[in-house]
Chain A
């Protein structure tokens, strides 16, 4: 893999470096800055969470890192190589439901392998491995319409894992699920991350989820989305969802909530004002 020598100012074990990203959109009422000078770096094997109130630019950041949008300022580098379009080392799990309804679970999970040209028997075997990893054995021949929302999201995760990305980038993968399912799927993700030594960047608006999973949590401000603070989570690993009831866990949650509350209430005020403006 070619490396770009110019972008190696960061420590060599930073596999993902996001450097001073600014992304604006042209909207009906002028330019809107969604992501404002955001920088972060993720080390090999690290689990980082990005948290922020709704509408703060998290998905925009996700799309920038994933190479799905252009027209932004700043740089994203993976292993020192500048991201210019979707990077093969990055696997994305999307916020919206993204399984292919016309493919069975196996064919969904085997999709990236099919694209890579792997023969059928081999890719089905690989797919079965990842299906088991997310705990969906027995559902190989089901279609997404026959699965619950949480199961579909696990199919999407398995599909991305099957492409064996160096970096797993997830945008609120459990956003639409209830709290219990979310905690249990969090355990699943931790197990997988532990097993595969996967580097993860998780985008979320859920504090519990961020603290439960991450080594570091980056708190974003409400629009325009800036980095407010980065919190190190020094909880022992391997973790399970039981940790949620520990005292240390509670302290981290409280700390992040106090940062986030300011931003979230700013966001709500902003929206109320906008509504009031629209009505007058």
Chain B
């Protein structure tokens, strides 16, 4: 198969799902618009989609949403980097030391389901009303998922692959980098995506709660002014941050582990 044909096949394969997904989104907005206009949904709770679109220009020009987007994005990037490095390292540590694993796995899992966002007063005391409170809250929220999934991926490596490595006399570090890590990678990335979702929810939530920083604060402001179209338009930018991170993780995963 030549390269041109391959790329053509790929773009065809992507085109249909994309159109379908985008079409569904448009259909959803149209339905909401209609339901509001005929009075099934109250327009005091949900603004008209057309109003939301009209609000984009306003939030961009008057509310400087792009710089707020950047603030939230940077916070998320720092917290996401910390989650990846610390989470994967701790997962590896728990895998290597069984005692540590048995001692901590349960409460790491408990922490994963705890509503850590409610701990924000504590973080405020420690880090002050600063970017670091927000970053650390995001970090704490996303960390357990990455630890647990890293651990799960490493322990789930098929026995026979480990034996292949042993039969070729791999050193422990080769065994780790050449077999365990690539075998665990898909599961680790599931953890990373989950962790990034929890992280972003917490980051925007804390910005909202302490009325500081990027998009969360703007949502707080706009909601207080009862500017619903503006609020929803801002939420769109939150979604955009998460889309950026998703695309990024997907690219990194493909690059690190082709063939799947």
By a beta-carbon cutoff of 8 Å, the part of chain A in contact with chain B is 63, 66, 68, 86, 88, 90-92, 94-98, 100-104, 111-112, 115, 143-145, 163
Contacts and interface: CB of A to CB of B under 8 A. Distances in A.
B257 interface: yes
A154 to B, nearest CB: 15
Interface stretch (B40-48, B166-174, B242-250): B166-174
- Residue among B161, B167, B183, B185 with max Cβ neighbours from chain A (10 Å): B167
Nearest to B159: A96
A88 B169 contact: yes
Interface in B224-260: 257-260
Given A86-B167, A91-B167, A96 B158 contact: yes
Nearest to B258: A102
A102 B259 contact: yes
B164 interface: yes
Contacts of A98: 160-161, 163-164
A270 to B, nearest CB: 26
A97 B160 contact: yes
B160 A94 contact: yes
A126 B243 CA distance: 44
15 contacts: A63-B163, A66-B167, A86-B166, A92-B167, A96-B158, A98-B161, A100-B161, A100-B164, A102-B182, A102-B185, A102-B260, A103-B259, A143-B258, A144-B259, A145-B259
Contact of B260 (A66, A91, A145): A145
B201 interface: no
A102 B189 CA distance: 15
Given A68-B167, A112-B168, A143 B259 contact: yes
Q: How many interface residues does chain B have, given as a range? A: 20 to 34
B96 interface: no
Contacts of A104: 259
Nearest to B166: A86
A96 B157 CA distance: 14
B93 interface: no
A128 B167 CA distance: 22
Given A68-B163, A102-B258, A115 B182 contact: no
Contacts of A96: 158, 160
Nearest to B158: A96
Contacts, number: 57
Interface string B144-188: 000000000000001011011011111000100011001101000
Contacts of B179: 100
- Residue among A90, A100, A104 with max Cβ neighbours from chain B (10 Å): A100
Contacts of B170: 115
Top 3 nearest A-B pairs (CB, nearest first) are A143-B259, A92-B167, A96-B160
B168 A163 contact: yes
A218 B179 CA distance: 34
A213 B187 CA distance: 41
A153 to B, nearest CB: 12
B202 to A, nearest CB: 32
Contacts of A94: 160, 163-164
Contacts of B183: 100, 102
B156 to A, nearest CB: 14
Given A91-B167, A94-B160, A100-B183, 12 more contacts: A68-B163, A68-B166, A86-B169, A88-B169, A92-B167, A102-B258, A102-B260, A111-B168, A115-B168, A115-B169, A115-B174, A144-B259
Nearest to A160: B167
Nearest to A146: B259
Contacts of A66: 167
- Residue among B164, B166, B178, B257 with max Cβ neighbours from chain A (10 Å): B164
B178 A115 contact: yes
Contacts of A63: 163
B188 to A, nearest CB: 13
A111 to B, nearest CB: 7
Contacts of B163: 63, 68, 92, 94, 98
B24 to A, nearest CB: 30
Contacts of A86: 166-169
Nearest to A104: B259
B59 to A, nearest CB: 44
Nearest to A66: B167
Contacts of A102: 182-183, 185, 257-260
Contacts of A100: 161, 164, 179, 182-183
A39 B8 CA distance: 60
A16 to B, nearest CB: 15
Contacts of B168: 86, 111-112, 115, 163
B10 to A, nearest CB: 15
Contacts of A90: 167
